[in-house]
Structure 1
Amino acid sequence: MATTPTVFLLMMSGQIEGGDFPEFDDLYVKYNFVYGPDWVITSGLEEGISQVCKKNVYGNQYFVWNFPLDVTFKSTNPYGWPQLVLSVYGLDAFGTAVARGYGAVHIPITPGRHSRIVPMFVPEASSRFQKFLGWFMGRRPEYVDTNVVARGEGREVTRVRSQGSIKCQFNIISRDMKKLGYDATPNTMTTPNGVSSLPSSSAPGAGASAEPSSNRDGDHS
């Protein structure tokens, strides 16, 4: 007799494709995952660091990392759905590695191929004097714990400004979610002919999803 599963699996592969940071050069990306207490990584890497990349000197001056992502999670419930946290670093005029951007995005819920544009930001000094002092001493404002960008606590007292963006590709496979009562299939819509079809933003191989990548609605339930 078949037994009812007690956990479901979320398998994600993909890549940190590239980024748009027109003001800088020689950048690299660090990544890690933030997830709830009921989630466990069963295979793959929880964190990593890419190669240093120079921007394209022709055309749009885009950074191309094509850094692979491959991880499998298991969980008993969707609370604390995993987020990918991205941190971009580069050297300043003094040769010191400084943060060029922070960002986070939830791993897509629905199976298939997804593209996400992740807006990046950096913390700002609380005063002009501190900003000048940080520039003069080569110590720019940075997060001690980069996972703070994936949480809501304390974010309202942090001054930040937008700086660049990163494009990520995700290939999602889930297992046993429906057996546990969770429906993660893409929504369908009815055509004039009465045939159901996937929305263009959810179809495999489609372009960037219409869902904002900077969603901070909290954990999925």
Structure 2
Amino acid sequence: MDQRNTSINQSIYCNSKFQLQSSAAMAAPMNSPVFYLFVTGQIETAYFPEFNDLFAKYTFVYGQDWVVTAGLEEGITQTTRKSFDGKQLFIWNFPLNITFKSTNPFGWPQLVLSVYGQDVFGNDVVRGNGAIHIPISPGSHVREVPMFVPESSSQLQKLTSWLLGRRPDYVDPTIVAQSEGREVTRVRSQGSIKVIFNVNMMDLRTMGYDNGAGSSITTNATTQANTTLNMTATTPR
């Protein structure tokens, strides 16, 4: 009888230990350190005085360690005409709402914008491309995104593309948020877009990063598509 009780107790102990180990393994990913980035705002206005009836497409580009947990990753605005006043602005007021989580700030999200309109033949052609990093500090931010368009390599190709309605364009518009391969692209500045960001963060400081006053976070030319963003870890408080 004692041997049977001993074997039963050992079996119960082994099963309990296995269940505890399984529960711990399942809970480990949930306890992994992450921080959250909450972004709202709007694509407010655009300035393209040479054109009319424009719409914009947007998408967020981010690193491999980032995950979208809520909101829309891409979208398209309504088509609008420029205002009749002296400003000649295209007013979209198109809302942005997205939430990210990540384990490190490398690959900080960027907003990629592409503007399209119709040519004289009724074809949708690109009127501008641009990208900008989401601001790295909480609060409300107003950003002006300079836009540009790819150019034909010769006057003959430019005339041919105009006649055929096939203007130079990127196969993947998100390339403007990357540095690799852009040095061989011929572009021309054209227009700008005003974007409003409302940024909030959670658990960034608990991971050893400080983006407050006097922090070790630095940005260089964040309004340009090839912005480099550096963030240095500090000792958690």
Aligned equivalents of 1:83, 1:215: Cα separation in 2: 9
Q: Deviations over 1:112-135 (max 9, x none)?
A: 000100000000001110000001
Please list every run of 5 or more consecutive structure 2 residues that lacks an aligned counterpart in the other structure: 1-29, 232-237
Alignment counterpart, residue 107 of structure 2, candidates 80, 86, 105: 80
| Offset at residue 5 of structure 1 (A) | 6.1
Work out whether 1:136 is the aligned partner of 2:163: yes
User: 1:58: which partner in 2?
Assistant: 85
Q: Give the one of 209, 215, 226 matched to 1:216.
A: 226
Residue 167 (structure 1) aligned with residue 194 (structure 2): yes
Aligned twin of 2:5: none
Task: Identify the structure with the greater helix proportion.
Answer: 2
Equivalent pair of 1:15/1:168 in contact (CA under 8 Å): yes
**2:151 partner amino acid:** E
Q: Deviations over 1:177-204 (max 9, x none)?
A: 000001112449xxxxxxxxxxxxxxxx
Do the aligned residues in 1 keep the contact of 2:130 with 2:225 (CA within 8 Å)? Answer: no
Residues in 2 aligned to 1:5 and 1:38: alpha-carbon distance in whole angstroms = 13
Distance 1:126 1:113, change over 3 A: same
Tell whether the 8 Å contact from 2:133 to 2:227 is kept in structure 1 after alignment: no
The alignment yields a C-alpha RMSD, in angstroms, of 1.7
* Contact 1:9–1:75 (8 Å) recurs in 2: yes
5 Å-filtered alignment, 1:99-114, equals 99-114=126-141
- For 1:97-122, what per-residue CA distance to the aligned partner results, in whole angstroms no more than 9, with x for missing partners? 00000000000000000010000000
- Alpha-carbon offset, residue 214 of structure 1: 1.2
Structure with the bigger RCO (C-alpha within 8 Å, sep 6+) is 1
Moved more, 165-174 or 57-66: 57-66
Any unmatched runs of 5+ in structure 1? 189-209
Aligned length: 198
Residue identity (%): 58
Q: TM-score, normalised by structure 1?
A: 0.86
Match of 1:38 in 2: 65
* 2:44 is equivalent to residue 17 of structure 1: yes
In the alignment, structure 1 residue 150 sits paired with structure 2 residue 177: yes
Contact 2:45 2:195 in 1 (8 A): yes
The residue matched to 2:228 in structure 1 has which SS? coil
Per-residue deviation, residues 76-99 of structure 1 (Å, max 9, x unmatched): 000000000000000000000000
Q: Is the 8 A contact 1:110 1:186 kept in 2?
A: no
In the alignment, residue 164 of structure 1 is paired with which amino acid?
G
Q: Using the TM superposition, give the Cα deviation of residue 220 of structure 1 relative to its aligned residue in structure 2, in angstroms.
A: 3.6
SS at match of 2:174: helix
C-alpha distance in structure 1 between counterparts of 2:213 and 2:127, whole Å = 35
In structure 2, what residue type is equivalent to 1:166? I
Q: Using a 3 Å threshold, how does the CA distance of structure 1 residues 103 and 215 change in structure 2: closer, same or farther?
A: closer
Q: SS of 2:168's equivalent?
A: coil
The amino acid across from 1:216 in the alignment is N
- The separation in 2 between residues aligned to 1:215 and 1:86, in whole angstroms, is 10
TM-score normalised by the chain length of structure 2: 0.80
